[in-house]
Amino acid sequence: MERIAIDMDEVTVNTLPTLLHRFNRDYGYSVTAEDLKGMKLEALHPELHDEIKAYFYEPSFFRHLQVMDGAPEVIAQLARQYEVFITTAAMEFPPSFAAKYEWLKNNLSFLGDMNFVFCGDKSIIHADYLIDDNARHFERFDGKGILYTAPHNVYETAYARVDHWEDIRRYFLT
């Protein structure tokens, strides 16, 4: 059975609206997703790099984020035909671990705990496919990388791309 590894942030979990809301509130900006075409927020405001990263170190930041439209339904369908693992580089922000685990249990309860992979370097993931919004995770990945569209990666052209979960359904289930 083929194996699919699926990233959490900006693939399964819609992180950006909460990040932008908090950033705009705290610093008096009105940054939109459109403003981030081809870059991350810390590239747009490098003078606030540490402050932006600090959001991800807040233990509760990840707990109540919105699920990406269609993600649970498509993941459940994929799990009937593939081995599915949710993979997150949680060790990049260790305080996020408990909140991410809680989020997974609340939103993807049909997957077992053994299908959640918390790691740092995703090159350790042994899967046929990795769906991720960060192309850097594909550089040493042995399977096929599939880029999930996010504002920061719109100009990346080196990998197969999906724009939303319906694209993932079509890619793997038709």
Query: CATH no. for residue 125?
Result: 3.40.50.1000
Q: Is 25 domain-assigned? A: no
- State the residue range of the domain holding 69: 3-14+63-173
Active site residues: 7, 9
Q: Is 22 domain-assigned? A: no
pLDDT below 70 — which residues of the chain? none
Residues 6+ apart with CB under 8 A from 139: 123
Q: Is 47 domain-assigned? A: no
User: What tokens does 9 get?
Assistant: 């942030």
pLDDT in tens, 67-107: 999 999 999 999 999 999 999 988 889 999 999 999 999 99
Q: Is 23 domain-assigned? A: no
User: What tokens does 81 get?
Assistant: 């035909």
| Amino acid in position 40 | K
* Conformation bin of residue 62: beta by default, left when phi > 0, alpha when psi is -120 to 50: alpha
Q: Which of 67, 65, 128, 70 is nearest to 99 (CA)?
A: 65
Q: Is 82 domain-assigned? A: yes
Sort 106 into a burial class: Cβ within 10 Å, 0-12 / 13-18 / 19+: exposed
- pLDDT score at 60: 85
pTM: 0.96
Report the domain count for the chain: 1
